[in-house]
């Protein structure tokens, strides 16, 4: 039971006046600051290479081709390939978010790994380093990787012969 | 969860449209909200990056994740309010009715309602730099009004406090007529604003600020 005369729904003059005031004043936010919690890129970020590797491994561990993952995650195949292969490529936040959803990974951590968000989680940094150390040069190629590699080399040779 | 009817303003035709103001928002609702708001935040983030907008002009709640605020909702003295229109959550507010006292005379040290968080849906933000006008207006003000009414319901006579983000400081002084008490080093140096009972009454009567 209310102990006052005011209604949750004010008159329309009140509503319109406050709507106009919101427009003039940018916003109504109360809470915590972005710069302190951070979806902000900073110079202190992890290697995008690790991010690309992680996406590739997550995809492969689920038995998905790049085409399937790109389709399921609703991103361009070219962007997925760039994410996996091009360490200078900066993915879009939407793509990172969609990949996180599709691969069932934590979106916030993926944003950190991709370099789109400020690094905050030291455990994640260490895990990324371990992952990078174990997954890079020493890993042998699987049969499929070797076949793909050989096919690519063959194309390169043919192109070279043609030119 | 209880529901009351309110009207919000659709920007494109300036029409008043019926919406529901829900009281008793639950942690599981926050997950639904973030599922809807998260992609929209990221689209805005992407547009800001693409447009080369300086970071100091980005919306200050771009990073928020309401699911992380769920523990706050489980407290006995916590209240969650939301506005739903056209089946979408258009804004949320979390407030506490215990643990905070007034800093202003004449009711210094008496309890007040403290607004932990208030935010409107990302598609309602007006961001001129990327050409986003915002779909629905007055959502934040109606939620804020509900927090003032909560203060009356609790017997706090309208006393209310909050820490505003810098971009919203003008709203709370100019539009709402709150007192800027001072910057709070314990809260990211945000400005702490407070309503006395008299100021809250003026706000409810539509005479709160310069708006």
The closest CB to that of A8, out of B6, B119, B175, belongs to: B6
Residues 104-123 of A with CB under 8 A from B: 107-108
Predicted local distance difference test score (pLDDT) of residue A131: 63
DSSP state of B86: T
Predicted local distance difference test score (pLDDT) of residue A92: 81
Residues 170-199 of B with CB under 8 A from A: 170-171, 174-175, 188, 190
Predicted local distance difference test score (pLDDT) of residue A60: 81
Q: With a cut of 70, which residues of chain A have pLDDT below it?
A: 1, 31-49, 87-88, 117-141, 145-163
Residues 3-22 of A with CB under 8 A from B: 3-4, 6, 8-22
Predicted local distance difference test score (pLDDT) of residue A37: 32
The whole-angstrom distance between A12's CA and the closest CA on chain B is 8
Q: Lowest mean pLDDT: which of B57-71, B125-139, B187-201?
A: B57-71
**Averaged pLDDT of chain B:** 91
Q: Is the complex ipTM more than 0.95?
A: no
Q: Lowest mean pLDDT: which of B37-46, B132-141, B151-160?
A: B37-46
Predicted local distance difference test score (pLDDT) of residue A40: 31
φ, ψ for residue A11, nearest 5 deg: -70, 165
In whole angstroms, give the CA distance from residue A49 to residue A85. 8
DSSP state of B173: I
| Dihedral sign from CA coordinates of B143, B145, B151, B153 | negative
Nearest to B160 by CA among B169, B149, B170: B149
Give percent above pLDDT 90 in chain B. 67
**Chain B interface disruption, residue of A6, A8, A10, A18, most B CBs within 10 A:** A18
Locus of tokens 């699911």: B67
pLDDT, one tens digit per residue, over B201-211 is: 999 999 887 64
pLDDT, one tens digit per residue, over B5-34 is: 999 999 999 999 999 999 999 988 988 898
Residue of B44 and A11 predicted with greater confidence:
A11
Predicted local distance difference test score (pLDDT) of residue A39: 30
Residues 6+ apart with CB under 8 A from B43: A94, B122
Residues 6+ apart with CB under 8 A from B158: B148, B151, B152, B195, B196, B197, B199, B200, B201, B203, B204
Q: Which residue of B has its CA nearest to A107?
A: B38
Rounded to 10 degrees, what is the CA torsion of B60, A10, B17, B22? 70
What pTM was computed for the model?
0.69
Predicted local distance difference test score (pLDDT) of residue B44: 86
Residues 61-80 of B with CB under 8 A from A: 61-65
Predicted local distance difference test score (pLDDT) of residue A38: 30
Predicted local distance difference test score (pLDDT) of residue A137: 46
The answer to whether residue B90 scores a pLDDT higher than 60 is: yes
The whole-angstrom distance between B105's CA and the closest CA on chain A is 22
| Burial degree of B12 (CB within 10 A; 0-12, 13-18, 19+) | exposed
Q: Which residue of B has its CA nearest to A35?
A: B60
User: What are the tokens at B112?
Assistant: 């007040």
Contact status of B130 with chain A (Cβ, < 8 Å): no
């Amino acid at each position: 039971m209310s102990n006052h005369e005011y209604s949750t729904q004010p008159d329309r003059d009140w509503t319109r006046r406050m709507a106009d005031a919101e427009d003039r004043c940018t916003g109504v936010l109360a809470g915590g600051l972005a710069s302190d919690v951070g979806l902000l890129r900073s110079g202190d970020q992890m290697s995008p290479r690790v991010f690309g590797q992680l996406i590739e491994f997550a995809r492969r561990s689920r038995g998905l081709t790049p085409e399937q993952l790109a389709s399921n995650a609703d991103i361009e195949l070219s962007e997925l390939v760039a994410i996996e292969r091009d360490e200078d490529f900066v993915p879009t936040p939407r793509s990172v978010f969609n990949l996180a959803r599709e691969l069932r990974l934590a979106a916030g951590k993926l944003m950190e790994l991709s370099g789109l968000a400020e690094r905050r989680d030291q455990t994640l940094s260490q895990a990324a380093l371990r992952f990078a150390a174990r997954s890079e040069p020493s890993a042998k190629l699987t049969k499929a990787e070797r076949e793909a590699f050989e096919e690519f080399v063959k194309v390169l040779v043919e192109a070279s012969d043609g030119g | 969860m209880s529901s009351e009817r309110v009207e919000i303003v659709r920007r494109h035709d300036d029409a008043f449209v019926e919406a529901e103001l829900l009281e008793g928002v639950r942690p599981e609702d926050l997950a639904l909200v973030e599922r809807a708001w998260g992609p929209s935040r990221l689209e805005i983030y992407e547009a800001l990056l693409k447009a080369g907008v300086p970071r100091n002009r980005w919306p200050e709640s771009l990073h928020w994740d309401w699911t992380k605020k769920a523990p706050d909702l489980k407290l006995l003295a916590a209240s969650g309010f939301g506005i739903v229109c056209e089946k979408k959550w258009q804004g949320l507010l979390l407030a506490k009715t215990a643990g905070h006292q007034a800093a202003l005379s004449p009711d210094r040290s008496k309890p007040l309602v403290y607004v932990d968080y208030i935010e409107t849906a990302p598609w309602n933000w007006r961001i001129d730099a990327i050409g986003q006008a915002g779909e629905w207006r007055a959502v934040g003000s109606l939620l804020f009004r509900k927090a003032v009414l909560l203060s009356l319901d609790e017997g706090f006579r309208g006393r209310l406090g909050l820490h505003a983000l810098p971009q919203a400081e003008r709203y709370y002084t100019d539009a709402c007529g709150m007192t800027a008490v001072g910057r709070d080093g314990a809260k990211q140096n945000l400005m702490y604003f407070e309503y006395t009972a008299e100021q809250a009454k003026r706000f409810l009567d539509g005479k709160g600020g310069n708006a």
